[in-house]
Amino acid sequence: MSVDAVREVILKRRTIKPMQYSDKPVEQAIIDDILETARWAPTHKLSEPWRFAVFTGGGRQKLGEYMSGWYKANTPEEKFQQQKFDRLLSVPASSGCAIGIGMHRDEGERLPEEEELLTVGCSVQNMQLLATAYGLGTFWSSGAIGFARETANFFGFDERTRSLGVLFMGYPNCEWPVSERRSLEDRVITHR
């Protein structure tokens, strides 16, 4: 295993939003390969709480109609912004693929919800890392729409599955972005 290659993909992963994607489609085999990494996230008691709703082709347009419709229905008239509505309508179709992210809780609730949320986060990062290796930008969009109960229903998730947002992906038509992080100096306490 190449330590440098693993580090490189972790450091290179970037949030790139759908408006910065090219028209180049993402092949189904690549989407499948990316999804496959999700199930290898660490998962306490092997609960495997991740659920995904994959939107490709015309499904992306339906997602845009849903998201913009949700925004309109849930925004007071005086706060409604046509620009935001238009963006929500067009964003999914601008992406190569959009993946609705879900967290399922088993009937017995064997694990605290925090653990199930964390493991889904790990599964999403697995997908983001392999997407990076494929040269794909990704964008995890959460917010009010992402967490709404109606969104989980729209994704086709059952009543025990919460929506945690959407992971968009696509080939960037821009320079690969650079980012910054603060030093760990005042964020790590070492006990020796």
Ligand X SMILES: Cc1cc2nc3c(=O)[nH]c(=O)nc-3n(C[C@H](O)[C@H](O)[C@H](O)COP(=O)(O)O)c2cc1C
CA 187 to each of CA 57, 121, 147, 167, 177: distance values in angstroms, whole numbers, following the listed order: 44, 21, 29, 28, 25
Q: Between vectors from CA 45 to CA 107 and to CA 105, what angle results, nearest 5°?
A: 25
- Quote the least distance from Cβ 187 to ligand X, whole Å: 16
Three-state DSSP state, 118? helix
Q: At residue 122, what is the residue type?
A: C
Chain contacts with ligand X (rule: CB under 6 A) = 14-15, 140-143, 165, 179
- Quote the least distance from Cβ 15 to ligand X, whole Å: 3
Q: In the structure encoding, which two tokens stand for residue 52, read together?
A: 């995904």
Closest chain position to ligand X (CB)? 15
Cβ proximity to ligand X: between 58 and 143 the closer is 143
Cβ proximity to ligand X: between 27 and 86 the closer is 86
Cβ proximity to ligand X: between 140 and 157 the closer is 140
Cβ proximity to ligand X: between 2 and 179 the closer is 179
Q: At residue 188, what is the residue type?
A: V
Neighbours of 17 (CB within 10 A): 18
> What φ, ψ does residue 5 adopt, rounded to 5°?
-65, -40
- Quote the least distance from Cβ 179 to ligand X, whole Å: 5
- Quote the least distance from Cβ 7 to ligand X, whole Å: 15
- Quote the least distance from Cβ 13 to ligand X, whole Å: 7
Cβ proximity to ligand X: between 14 and 104 the closer is 14
- Nearest Cα neighbor of 91 from 125, 141, 135 is 141
